[in-house]
Structures are given as C-alpha cells and as structure tokens.
C-alpha cells in the first residue's frame, strides 16, 4: 500500500496503463556490478504504437532521475501528470507512434513499479537500507532483459537525456549489436566532481532528516519528506540558470510576505514548492540510490578509460546539449562528439532554462530526435 505521506507506487496500487514484467534467473538471480544481488527484478514499462513483423521499428526512451515510464499520454489512474515528453511522443510527433513501437521502462532502483528500495524483498518486507548499490550498467542490463521479453533483438533507436542519456551511452558501448542509432541529450561520458558534489549534498540532506531511520522508514508511519524536499531544491537550483532566476524572480518577495519579518523571497518559495511537489510522489531511498548510480556513471570503467570505450562505437550517435546547462555543460557533449566516430557536431538546444531545457524545449528537441531517427544507421 502507499503511505499517506508519499505518492510513489507501491505493491497494490492501481497500475494505470503500466505493464509489468518480472525476471528471474533460476539459481543465480541478478548479480550487480558492485557485488550486490537481487533474486528477481520487476520492470514497469509503457508502450505506444505497434511492433512490426520483423521487430525493426522499436524505439527505447529512457527517463531522467525523477522521471518514470509515463513518457506520453494524459494524467489518470496511476499517473499524476501528463507524460513528461508528451509533446514529442505520439502520432505524427517527433517519435511517431504510427511508425514506431515506443517503449519506456521505469528504471531499476526507481519507485514507480520497478524493483527499488520500496519493493518487498523475499522476506515480505521492503528492502529499505538493504537495497544494494546499483549502477547505470545494472539498469541497462535489466533493460536488456525487457528487450528480450518483448522480442526486440535490436532497437531502431535509443533516446535519453540526463540519467537517461547515461543509459543510452551504456547501451551503445555495452550492447552495440542491439542498437542502430542513439540520441544522447545533456550528459557526459562520466560523472564529474561537480555533479558528484551536488548529488552528495542532496543525499546528506535526506539522510539528515530524523524520519529517515537509516533508510528503514516504510513501516514507521513517517518518511523523510523534509530532507527529500531540500534535496530536490538543491537539484532544482542546479537544473536551472542564473539568468532565468533573475528574470523570473529577482529579489521579489513571495506574494505579500515581508522578507525582513521572516517572510520569503519568491525564489525561496519556488524551490520549496518544487521540493514539496517531489516529496508527494517520490521515494527518498530511490532518490538516493539513483543519485548514487549517476555518480558511478563512467563508460570507461573497466574498459580502459573513456577514450578506449568510445573509440570503437560505430553506430550513428547524435549528441545534444543545452546552451545554458551549468550541470552538464557543453564541454561534456563536445568531448563525446570528439570521441565517437560518427557523432558529428553537437546539436545545441538554445534555452535559458539550463539542464531542464531537454525537457522544456520540445520543438528543438523533437526536431533533433526526429532527424536522428530518420538518418540511415
């Protein structure tokens, strides 16, 4: 059931339009890159369009940190909001569901139906603090299981931004025979010290909440909402830009509040609002697990370094970045384009919105994705 203090999916909730697939490996389960183990894994996913006879029209769409499988479609049972890329996925849209069979899974470690810290372990209790360390590669390994389940031998395209872009890179590096073309948005080849620092502060904010209970809060009747809200505020600050904040908020007070009498500035209210909004729908443990997976992102780990890992990529890879992104700056995309043989020039998304531009600038992003899918692999 779902705790009154959280809106994330738990067993027994109305699944809405989600599908679920559970994978078990007899006698071995899933051994993770960090040495942990899961006996079985459930993946929540959504699809649009129809798979053609030879399975050649499948497109994998991969969500970012707090996204989920609901990439397109209206709000409704099981979905509190319109799909996060609804303007890009659908009939006659950039990812045309009259042409493509589109799949969007909820990531391993998430909290919208896929196995994560809030899922029940074999003893019937939520994993909580017992949930193992996972990496981007572990997430992709589970997505490979899903592709097999759906009888998709090779994706026509894999598209993702931010954490989804990390997974798209891992697909083309780790499973090149299963990918024809890839679109990587607003990310780099490996996590930077700056990104790790920001994630670590967010994790500390959650763990400092007295209701965190070491990660085992599911059966306490409370959850670390305050810590999660602060963490999201830190994240939201890094996703946007100085220019946008100055233009939208400046030094304005929030409504009729007086800042010299314990009132708030409008920017403070904005960050608080986004924090509270996330705390209503997301699990704090998932936020930690996924943030740390992003910190571990490094396509060169165990492959001789980033240069060695990327130099053998022969697929068409379109790399795109946001002009004002201060979290994943353009230099990171330029590095990818330089090291991947068929990447070409970086496609620049012009936006004052910072990192979130890959979610906001639908016309520009849609044009980039549509052109990428239309190119000869």
The Cα–Cα gap between 65 and 231 comes to: 13
Task: Indicate if 355 belongs to the active site.
Answer: yes
| Tokens matching residue 309 | 């890992």
The residue annotated as part of the active site, out of 96, 138, 283, 325, is 325
The Cα–Cα gap between 281 and 2 comes to: 10
SS3 348: strand
Provide the edge-to-edge strand list for the sheet that holds 19-24: 19-24, 40-48, 101-105, 58-62, 157-161, 181-185, 316-322, 347-349
The Cα–Cα gap between 34 and 17 comes to: 33
Task: Indicate if 256 belongs to the active site.
Answer: no
Backbone angles phi, psi at 21, to 5 degrees: -130, 130
Using alpha carbons, select from 100, 114, 241 the residue that is nearest to residue 183. Answer: 100
The residue annotated as part of the active site, out of 96, 296, 355, 356, is 355
Contacts of 223 (CB under 8 A, 6+ apart): 3, 5, 6, 211, 217, 279, 284
Burial class (CB in 10 A: 0-12, 13-18, 19+), 241: buried
Task: Indicate if 162 belongs to the active site.
Answer: yes
CA angle 341, 138, 71 (to 5 degrees): 80
Using alpha carbons, select from 10, 28, 275 the residue that is nearest to residue 116. Answer: 10
The residue annotated as part of the active site, out of 6, 162, 286, 351, is 162
Residues written for the chain: 377
The Cα–Cα gap between 145 and 151 comes to: 10
The residues assigned a catalytic role are 162, 325, 355
């Amino acid at each position: 059931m779902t705790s009154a203090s959280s809106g994330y999916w738990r067993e027994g909730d109305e699944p809405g339009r989600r599908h679920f697939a559970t994978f078990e490996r007899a006698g071995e389960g899933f051994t993770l890159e960090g040495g942990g183990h899961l006996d079985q894994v459930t993946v929540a996913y959504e699809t649009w369009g129809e798979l053609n006879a030879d399975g050649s029209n499948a497109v994998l769409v991969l969500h970012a940190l707090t996204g989920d499988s609901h990439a397109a479609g209206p709000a409704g049972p099981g979905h509190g909001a319109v799909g996060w890329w609804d303007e890009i996925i659908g009939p006659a849209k950039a990812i045309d569901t009259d042409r493509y069979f589109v799949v969007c899974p909820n990531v391993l470690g998430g909290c919208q139906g896929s196995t994560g810290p809030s899922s029940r372990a074999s003893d019937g209790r939520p994993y909580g603090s017992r949930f193992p360390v996972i990496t981007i590669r572990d997430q992709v390994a589970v997505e490979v299981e899903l592709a097999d389940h759906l009888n998709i031998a090779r994706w026509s395209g894999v598209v993702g931004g931010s954490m989804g872009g990390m997974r798209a890179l891992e697909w083309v590096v780790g499973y090149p025979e299963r990918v024809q073309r890839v679109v990587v948005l607003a990310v780099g080849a490996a996590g930077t010290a700056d990104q790790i620092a920001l994630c670590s502060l967010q994790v500390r904010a959650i763990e400092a909440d007295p209701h965190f209970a070491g990660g085992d809060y599911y059966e306490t009747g409370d959850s670390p909402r305050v810590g999660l809200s602060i963490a999201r505020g830190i994240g939201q600050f890094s996703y946007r830009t100085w220019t946008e904040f100055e233009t939208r908020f400046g030094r304005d007070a929030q409504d009729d509040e007086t800042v010299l009498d314990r009132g708030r500035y409008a920017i403070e209210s904005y960050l608080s609002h986004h924090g509270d909004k996330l705390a209503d729908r997301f699990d704090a443990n998932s936020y930690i697990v996924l943030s740390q997976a992003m910190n571990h992102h490094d396509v060169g780990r165990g492959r001789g370094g980033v240069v060695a890992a990327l130099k053998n990529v022969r697929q068409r890879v379109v790399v795109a970045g946001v002009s004002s992104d201060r979290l994943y700056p353009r230099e990171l995309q330029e590095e990818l384009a330089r090291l991947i043989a068929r990447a070409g020039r970086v496609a620049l998304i012009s936006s004052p919105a910072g990192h979130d531009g890959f979610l906001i600038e639908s016309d520009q992003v849609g044009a980039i994705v549509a052109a990428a899918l239309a190119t000869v692999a």
